[in-house]
Amino acid sequence: MMQRKNLFSTLCLAFLSFTQLMAKGVTPTYLRTEYKENPFTDVRSPRLSWELTSTEPNQKQAAYQILVASSPEKLVPGKADLWDSGKTNGNATSHIDYTGKPLTSRQICYWKVRSWDKNDQPGVWSKVSRWEMGLLNKSEWKAEWIGLDLDHLGKGPVYHLPPAPYLRKEIQLKPGFKKARLYVTALGVYEFSINGAKVGNEFLTPGWTDYDQRVHYQAYDVTTQLKSGPNALGSQLSYGWYAGYLGYALLVNNHTVRAFYGKVPVLKAQLEVEYPDGRKETFLTGSDWKVNHGALVESDILNGETYDARKEWPGWNKVRFNDSDWPAAQVFPDKASRAMSIYPGPPVKITETLPAKSVTARPDGGHIVDLGQNFAGIVRIRVKGNAGDTIRLRFGEKLHPDGRLMTENLRMARATDTYILKGSPQGETWEPKFTFHGFQYVEIKGLRTQPDLTTVTGLAIGSDTPKTGHFETDSPMINQLYSNIDWTQRANYLDIPTDCPQRDERMGWTADAHIYARSAMFNRDVSSFFTKWMIDLNDSQWPDGAYPLYAPRPDLRQTDTFSPGWMEAGIVCPYETFQMYGDTRIIRESWPYMEKFMKFLEKRSNGAYVFKETAFDDISPKGGFGDWLSFGKKTSPDLLASFLYAYCADMMATMAKAIHNETAHAHYQGISQKVKAATLAHYYRNDGRFDCVASAYGNGSGYVDGQLGFTGHTQTAYANAIYMGLLSEEGTAKAGNYLTALLRENNGKLSTGFLGAKPLLPALSATGNSDMAYQLFLSKEFPSWGFEVMNGSTSIWERWDSFTLEDGFKYNASMNSFSHYSFGAVCEWMFGNAAGIQHLEPGFSKLRIRPEIAPKGLTYLNASYRTLHGLVQSSWTNYPDHLKMEVTIPVNTTAELCVPAGPTARITINGKQPGAIAGLTEKGTKEGYRVFETGSGRYTVLVTP
């Protein structure tokens, strides 16, 4: 009996020990497929990712096992019918390629994962996730393109704005169906409804592509929106980017100003319904659909919408609507070469609702509504009046000093929404469907009654990119700056990375995109966003290999070809995606395009591996756009082009190694050495200065700000040379000295433009001048980031002088955007230097925390970033007598913890001496930091001098 009790006790203790060990193990969470949770995808070998959590420090994954099956019930080892990876050794938790049975269209795949921890103990299984395959072959699309040509009804002396088509079809479903999927797209933009209810919550679908080459589609599970018996399918179309106005084409009197891809928006939709016995019914767009036009009498992305509620078709998208007078849909031919694929990016959605902050009456009878934030989106209005009353809404980012709406910077974008009331006694609520504006203020006219704070509500629209970054300090100015950066990103990451959301432009400018890419990745999860846009950029590559000024690339102006400083986006954006997310697939898919571009550069240099003065005089503007919107003498655009050539070669070498292409790695290392040597031989002087033959540019005619003259001795030149690693250690130190000297000569103020602002503060930090970087960062004087904040900005300006007290809105007549993220690239330094969150290996599997403590102006900073592995936090508080750091390192990563302290400073970590912390190893002192190596966990560091 005693033996049994002892055995029982032993078993209980063993079980308790095992469960404790399991509890301290690792748990997979946040399962994603192709960067998304439970998505539709048409990637034939989708990549799987997860995060790990643990209550135990220094935890990491030793192995994993993935199960994929056709049903949740089959997610059992030995029974998973699609894939059982078995125990797979390694610490990878992201970008795991599915390598199970070949997947087919429409297939639903359920999956889960478990991980073995550092003690080789298996953890618990994750919750079940899933993905669903779309239509993998274009031949599976049986639907036709349908629409209604209303182009002849466009009116107006300036804008040709036809009404928007309505399309409908009633279908009959048998009882007992179990599954229904809608596959839908448009040339143009669409909204689809079933039985009067919108399908999905996206806007401006299917997004902007080069429609001549490809169109994306959406897939929806609509099982719950259908019912047995009659059902009504409905869709509204608009002209969108396909057939509407684009960019500044109208402003510059381009030969084409609208309908760059086609004049008639068309719909393609395929509804597939499945019954329990396996029977299927498919309903397709075709000539049996009915079409008409009605209340949406004008609809354009740039110019806004006009909606006449008196022309509504009540119940038009519901069953039993009488459409006998509606004509049959017109069928339009397909383009055989046009690819069709599921939309790979994050959906465009309403991401936030903004209530009105104030309503101010104007002398002309109108009112100005302040929504408190400059953003991109639309408004919802609640109004009451008589039939025929006309409400006009205009939008602006700023007000003139006398309270008038400032709209001069919209140029030829009408950006006006009009609602004509039907006279409902209960009042009327309306919001546009197929347009967006960039604004903080709304002018509303035509109301019969005094508006209040509920009359106008702002609806922020943008790509739904999850927030991954957090940044706060004890400075209200810096906190507002970070808010401004994030809001400007949200306003311009709308399907593509636009330059601005308000005026007649809104193009995917390539310089803006690559300058800001790393900042964007700190702020938000833009992994799938760049997956989508890189397709657009590669589709837009010129035949000679140059990447364009913007992508997609409609023919807005004959001289819009390429420019140094812009075209390198085709290399920089995949590189940054690789570095921040560990994504090598984007490298492989972009590789042919990137190699073509590198050959273009080599050919363009005539084999000299340097671009000497006037090398780009054949493009417009001469030399390209250069350091756009800088002050003072211009940095030689050819010098910058040469720097970027070397930088691209370095990035190509790194990316080649990442995809195990050793031949290419060696090749681009060689190219880099040649370009650096040739560039320094031509532009670098013995005293470490950069110079150029200024006389080669003549009087500067044809160059951007060419009348100011050219030089190589600029803040922008040295900042880029340091940032790009073009110089020796000695040369870098000299460049840092010249950079600081130039700043002092300019009264401690920056003079950089688009190409110089991003590397400026990182270059100062890299050369031991963090104090000067903070001086610029905290400045409130013109020009500076703080100057914008102190002048009431809620977003990032295009120009340092978009507004000054002396000149007001000086550049209204040309270009003056108050929502332009390029100068927001300082965010990269905020996270990477001020907070010190840096990756040592792509995707943050190994990272560094090395904060730069402000010498004055800030005493507290708290930043975090959610990597693919989980949350990284870096916080510091600089008390009078000690420094406190709070650090979080996610599971399955290792970190260098760099503590700003001299060799005699007293350091405690989690209340203990560093040597008493398990898993933490001191590696020595470097550049004023004590360096420790550690694994996952939370660490409180106290430093006492």
Q: Which of 341, 197, 182, 184 is nearest to 272 (CA)?
A: 182
User: What is the DSSP secondary structure assignment for residue 163, as one 8-state letter?
Assistant: P
pLDDT at residue 150 tops 50:
yes
132 labelled catalytic: no
pLDDT at residue 375 tops 50:
yes
Q: Which two tokens stand for residue 411?
A: 């140029």
- For the segment 721-736, the average pLDDT, to the nearest whole number, is 98
pLDDT at residue 7 tops 60:
no
Give the C-alpha separation, 567 to 507, whole Å.
14
Confidence at 814, pLDDT banded by 50, 70, 90: low
Q: Which residue has the higher pLDDT, 370 or 21?
A: 370
Residue 67 bridge partners (DSSP): 84, 112
Residues 309-344 pLDDT 10s: 999 999 999 999 999 999 999 999 999 999 999 999
Which H or E element spans position 237? Answer: strand 229-238
Residues whose CB falls within 8 Å of the CB of residue 357, separated by 6 or more in sequence, listed in order: 370, 371, 372, 453
Q: How far is CA 836 from the centre of its chain?
A: 22
- For the segment 568-586, the average pLDDT, to the nearest whole number, is 98
Query: Among residues of the chain, what percentage have pLDDT more than 70?
Result: 97
Given the residues 505, 568, 828, 896, the one annotated as active site: 505
CB 440 within 8 A of CB 373: yes
Confidence at 2, pLDDT banded by 50, 70, 90: very low
Instruction: Encode burial over 233-272: b for 16+ CB neighbours within 10 A, e otherwise.
Output: bbbbbbbbbbbbbbbbbbbeebeebbbbbbbbbbbbbbbb
pLDDT at residue 22 tops 60:
no
Which H or E element spans position 539? Answer: helix 527-539
- For the segment 534-555, the average pLDDT, to the nearest whole number, is 98
Residues 188-200 pLDDT 10s: 999 999 999 999 9
Given the residues 202, 428, 798, 896, the one annotated as active site: 798
CA dihedral (97, 101, 106, 112) positive or negative: negative
Number of C-beta neighbours around residue 192 at 10 A: 26
Q: Which two tokens stand for residue 354?
A: 């903004």
pLDDT at residue 931 tops 90:
yes
CB 481 within 8 A of CB 403: no
User: What is the DSSP secondary structure assignment for residue 833, as one 8-state letter?
Assistant: I
Tell me the DSSP string of 629-684: T--SSEEPHHHHHHHHHHHHHHHHHHHHHHTT-HHHHHHHHHHHHHHHHHHHHHHB
- For the segment 281-288, the average pLDDT, to the nearest whole number, is 98
Instruction: Look at residue 13 in the predicted model and tell me its pLDDT.
Output: 39
In order of 462, 540, 742, 911, the CA distances from 489 in angstroms are 9, 23, 31, 40
Instruction: Encode burial over 285-307: b for 16+ CB neighbours within 10 A, e otherwise.
Output: bbeebbbbbbbbbbbbbbbbbbb
Give the C-alpha separation, 191 to 617, whole Å.
46
Give the C-alpha separation, 907 to 914, whole Å.
7
Which H or E element spans position 602? Answer: helix 585-604
∠ CA(356), CA(357), CA(363), 5° rounding?
Answer: 90
pLDDT at residue 4 tops 50:
no
Q: Which two tokens stand for residue 398?
A: 């700023």
- Give the position of tokens 């002192």: 925
Give the C-alpha separation, 846 to 655, whole Å.
18
662 labelled catalytic: no
**Cα radius of gyration rounded to whole Å, the chain:** 30
User: What is the DSSP secondary structure assignment for residue 831, as one 8-state letter?
Assistant: I
Residues 449-479 pLDDT 10s: 999 999 999 999 999 999 999 999 999 999 9
- Give the position of tokens 């209040």: 452
In order of 171, 274, 327, the CA distances from 148 in angstroms are 21, 31, 9
Q: Which two tokens stand for residue 647?
A: 């930088």
Confidence at 903, pLDDT banded by 50, 70, 90: confident
Give the C-alpha separation, 863 to 473, whole Å.
9
Instruction: Look at residue 813 in the predicted model and tell me its pLDDT.
Output: 56
Residues 527-537 pLDDT 10s: 999 999 999 99
CB 744 within 8 A of CB 750: no
pLDDT at residue 51 tops 70:
yes
Instruction: Look at residue 15 in the predicted model and tell me its pLDDT.
Output: 40
Residue 361 bridge partners (DSSP): 367
H helix and E strand count, the chain: 15, 48
- For the segment 55-63, the average pLDDT, to the nearest whole number, is 97
The H-assigned helical ranges of 281-439 are none
Instruction: Look at residue 12 in the predicted model and tell me its pLDDT.
Output: 41
User: Burial of 903 by CB count in 10 Å (0-12 exposed, 13-18 middle, 19+ buried)?
Assistant: exposed
Give the C-alpha separation, 546 to 331, whole Å.
37
Instruction: Look at residue 811 in the predicted model and tell me its pLDDT.
Output: 66
Instruction: Look at residue 672 in the predicted model and tell me its pLDDT.
Output: 98
Q: Which of 820, 829, 814, 827 is nearest to 795 (CA)?
A: 820
Q: Do the bridges between strand 197-198 and strand 96-97 make them parallel or antiparallel, or are there none, so unpaired?
A: unpaired
Phi, psi of 586 (to 5 degrees): -65, -30
pLDDT at residue 10 tops 50:
no
Q: Which of 717, 712, 723, 786 is nearest to 749 (CA)?
A: 786
Q: How far is CA 705 from the centre of its chain?
A: 31
User: What is the DSSP secondary structure assignment for residue 605, as one 8-state letter?
Assistant: T
Confidence at 3, pLDDT banded by 50, 70, 90: very low
Residues 848-875 pLDDT 10s: 999 999 999 999 999 999 999 999 999 9
Q: Kindly report whether the peptide bond that precedes residue 552 is cis, defined as omega within 30 degrees of 0.
A: yes
Instruction: Look at residue 812 in the predicted model and tell me its pLDDT.
Output: 59
- For the segment 823-830, the average pLDDT, to the nearest whole number, is 98
Q: Kindly report whether the peptide bond that precedes residue 39 is cis, defined as omega within 30 degrees of 0.
A: no
Give the C-alpha separation, 936 to 889, whole Å.
5
Is 36 strand, coil or helix? strand
Query: Among residues of the chain, what percentage have pLDDT more than 90?
Result: 95
Number of C-beta neighbours around residue 314 at 10 A: 7
Residue 113 bridge partners (DSSP): 66
Average pLDDT, the chain: 96
